[in-house]
């Protein structure tokens, strides 16, 4: 009985036994290779999906950011910042009427949020350069003395940190590699 191998209740001779074992081993190897390949394909597909989702999220955020700059409210803020004197310190700031305070605060928050989005690489700095450009730097220069004073006297050492960072990056880009107007290069 040693020389027989039983498959499905049928005894097989040594030659058939060897053939059956080789076929089983080949099938096992093929199955293992197929599993390994399916795992590799699944990982590649998963990575592609994650990258696609990240790209889609960034595109949606970019479009939303652009829409934010195209509102009447933002246009009013730009006008207000350009044509009003900025308080130089905390005391002058709080001496202003509440409606003015709200405008200064809102614009500061908008620029802070924008700087944060750029710093976290959720919005490309090129977009900000193309849409707001030197206005970011000019606005920071107006806010600078107020924010530096408030960082000490509030105390809030982080006040306007991303606004400042963004303005410095835009200024740096404009000095080291100023972009040409699109109508001249496009």
Angle at 128 between CA 127 and CA 134, to 5 degrees: 135
At 1 the pLDDT is 47
Which pTM was predicted?
Answer: 0.70
pLDDT digit string (tens) for 104-154? 999 999 999 999 999 999 888 998 998 898 999 999 999 999 999 999 998
At 23 the pLDDT is 77
3 state DSSP class of 127:
helix
Helix (H) or strand (E) holding 184: helix 182-185
Q: CA-to-CA distance for 49 and 73, rounded, in angstroms?
A: 37
Residues (pLDDT < 50) of the chain are 1
- Are 118 and 166 within 8 A, CB to CB? yes
């Amino acid at each position: 009985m040693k020389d027989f191998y039983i498959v499905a209740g049928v005894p097989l001779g040594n030659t058939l036994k060897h053939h059956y074992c080789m076929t089983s081993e080949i099938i096992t190897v093929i199955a293992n290779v197929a599993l390994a390949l399916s795992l590799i394909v699944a990982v590649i597909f998963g990575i592609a999906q994650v990258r696609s989702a990240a790209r889609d999220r960034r595109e949606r955020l970019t479009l939303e950011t652009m829409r934010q700059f195209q509102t009447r409210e933002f246009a009013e803020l730009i006008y207000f910042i350009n044509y009003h004197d900025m308080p130089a310190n905390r005391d002058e700031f709080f001496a202003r009427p509440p409606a003015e305070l709200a405008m200064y605060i809102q614009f500061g928050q908008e620029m802070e949020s924008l700087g944060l989005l750029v710093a976290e690489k959720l919005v490309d700095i090129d977009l900000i350069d193309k849409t707001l450009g030197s206005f970011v730097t000019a606005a920071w220069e107006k806010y600078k003395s107020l924010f530096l004073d408030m960082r000490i006297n509030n105390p809030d050492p982080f006040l306007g940190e991303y606004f400042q960072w963004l303005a410095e990056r835009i200024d740096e880009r404009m000095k080291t590699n100023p972009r040409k107007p699109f109508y001249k290069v496009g």
